[in-house]
Amino acid sequence: MNMNRREMLARTAALAGASALGFPMIGRAAASYTYGGSAWLGHYSAYIAMKTGLFAKQGLEIKWQSFATSSDRMSAVMAGNIDLAGTGVVSSLALMAAGARQFQVIATPNNFGRAEGVLVREDVKSVADLKGRKIGVTYASSAHVLLLDVLRQAGMDPDRDVSIINLPATNILSAYQGKQIDAAVAWTPAFDRIKAVPGTRVLLDDTAFSLYKQYAITPGPDVLLTHAKLGKDNPEAVRKFLAAVFQANALLTEQPDEAAGVLLELTGLSRDDQLNVIKQTQWYSAADQKALMVDPGNFVNGMQKLAEMLVSLKQIDRAPTVKDWVQASYL
């Protein structure tokens, strides 16, 4: 039986509590750190920085560890098994709501809007047409929040009007192809692979999300994190990590063809699809971070609105004060 959203949050909060008891960081050389990532575009910057030697030029050895979901990645952060990570903010908001203090939000790498969405068969023309259908989505993800929000906008009850099936991101394509589900909500690269299935269309993407319309924020905007212990013990390493990430963002912005070539091994997309994902995403620079994270803090304000929305969607019990987890001193 699939674990429901509240059970997943309870499990994650329990892991945070175990970490608070002093679970030790794995010993490693001073300049060697582990980054938690995946094939999602929020990790492109770190992957490029690793593969092109940008981290090495900063004197950092960054090891890559892949996770299927943000929740799994955040559990590893809580356990002290990874030092730095990128994540969709939904999983970190859940931990903030549980009072976890083992991580700091240090930057946001991008703004995306068309790399995640609801994919349907050709007979589905509107959200209302999803009534009575099975929809596959990964719980505790931005895609789940998008689905709940657009159902609410359409006046539909997610518990009565549709059947939401919790699937790992890696299994959604096969479930859709095998007609175990009627519709899928996913992010790239799964989003692009499902979109390529004959007879499939994009019903809507993140630009249909309520807060995107008002605050230009997606259902699960990307953030970069550091384990609080690393930030305390070696803040200079965190600064160097961010410097390399923003250099990679410059490559994504200014030389997308070169960046696409580096990313193909990570994502498995075709070069054309990879280039399209890069070009439709805004890659933030170091200079952008002040307005986003500090003054006036537009992105932080958007995250606060998202936390409040998660409460209204009954995904978390309370909205944390998000700025208390933001540490902009590394920028």
Q: Given a cut of 70, is residue 76 above it in pLDDT? A: yes
What pLDDT is attached to residue 40?
Answer: 96
Q: Name residues whose C-beta falls within 8 Å of residue 265's C-beta, 6 or more positions apart in sequence.
A: none
Share of the chain above pLDDT 90, in %: 87
CA dist 38 and 303 (Å) reads: 22
271-286 pLDDT, tens digit per residue, is: 999 999 999 999 999 9
| pLDDT at residue 21, as a whole number | 32
pLDDT at 275: 97
Average pLDDT over residues 303-317: 95
**Is the model more confident about 12 or about 119?**
119
pLDDT value, residue 140? 84
Residue-wise pLDDT tens digits, 202-246: 999 999 999 997 788 999 999 999 999 999 999 999 999 999 999
pLDDT of residue 57: 97
Contact 110, 281 (CB under 8 A): yes
Tokens of 120: 């349907």
Domain locations along the chain: 5-112+220-325, 116-215
Average pLDDT, the chain: 91
The predicted pLDDT at position 30 comes to 42
CB atoms within 10 A of CB 270: 13
Beta strands in the chain (DSSP E): 32-37, 61-66, 84-88, 103-107, 110-111, 116-121, 134-137, 163-166, 183-187, 200-205, 222-227, 282-283
Confidence (pLDDT) at 69: 85
According to CATH, the topology of domain 5-112+220-325 is D-Maltodextrin-Binding Protein; domain 2 (3.40.190)
Q: For position 211, what pLDDT does the model report?
A: 94
Q: Which letter does DSSP use for residue 290 in this model? A: I
pLDDT digits (tens, 9 = 90+) for 41-58: 999 999 999 999 999 999
- Percent of the chain residues topping a pLDDT of 70: 91
Residue 10's pLDDT band, with cuts at 50, 70 and 90, is very low
Confidence (pLDDT) at 213: 78
Inform me whether the pLDDT recorded for 6 exceeds 50. no
- For domain 116-215, the CATH class is alpha beta
Identify the pLDDT of residue 70.
87
